[in-house]
Amino acid sequence: MARLNVTPTRMELSRLKDRLTVSVRGHKLLKDKQDELVRQFIALVHENRRLRALVEDALAQIAQESILAGSAHSQEEISNAFLYRQSPWTVEIAEKNLMGFSVPSMTSVKSDAVEREGLWAPSPPLSQAALRMQVLVPKLLELAQVEKTCMLLSQEIEKVRRRVNALEYMTIPQLKETIRYIKMKLEDTEREGIIRMIKGKSYSQ
């Protein structure tokens, strides 16, 4: 491991020791953060799979009921039934702090359902499909939030991992090697000083 290019002095040795202490402490904190981020990421991946399966099952049922309704209604009537059954939704998007970085926090609020006007009534399959779609909207929003959080978490984990690796495989080994080098140089200088002192005494005698 290549050492740092520094002057081998006691002051530099003290400075590097302090820096090594901070680096080791920082490495532990970052490693703990990385482990916790990974734990939360795995939990969110499981939640994402659960939500996605729920949403896909609901969409499959909606599609099946819409196909059944196709024999009794035109495409325009089917589209209108979905539009008329939907309640106005207000989506509030904010941010929350997750271990030092921001992730989206989305909440939805809906008003009362819009009453459908017209002389015809949709068939039971179409009415059920439209109602199911209305109920599904919050789950779609929740799925979008979880998927976005998973993406941001994976990016943060990669960022922290790079910092952990830089400390573990570069900064800390370089500091240790440089400290070892300075200690060796200082010991050599001290020995040379003792030898010169002994020689000076022998010459004076």
CATH number, domain containing residue 60: 1.10.287.3240
- Helix segments in the chain, DSSP class H: 10-69, 75-85, 124-166, 172-204
- Does 173 fall in a domain? yes
Helix then strand then coil, in percent of the chain rounded to 5, is 75, 10, 15
- Does 83 fall in a domain? yes
- Does 129 fall in a domain? yes
Number of folded domains in the chain? Answer: 1
Query: Residue 71 has what pLDDT?
Result: 62
Q: What is the pLDDT of residues 66-92, one digit of tens each?
A: 777 666 666 666 666 666 555 566 777
- Does 200 fall in a domain? no
* Residue 118 clears pLDDT 50, i.e. is over it: no
Q: Which of 94-98, 106-110, 165-169 has the lowest mean pLDDT?
A: 106-110
Note if the pTM is more than 0.85: no
* Residue 120 clears pLDDT 50, i.e. is over it: no
- Does 47 fall in a domain? yes
The DSSP annotation for 23-42 comes to HHHHHHHHHHHHHHHHHHHH
Higher-scoring residue by pLDDT: 64, 182: 182
Higher-scoring residue by pLDDT: 110, 120: 110
- Does 4 fall in a domain? no
Q: What is the pLDDT of residues 138-161, one digit of tens each?
A: 888 899 999 999 999 999 999 999
The range of the structural domain enclosing residue 50 comes to: 10-195
- Does 5 fall in a domain? no
Q: Is 134 helix (H, G, I), strand (E, B) or coil?
A: helix
- Does 205 fall in a domain? no
Higher-scoring residue by pLDDT: 21, 188: 21
Higher-scoring residue by pLDDT: 107, 163: 163
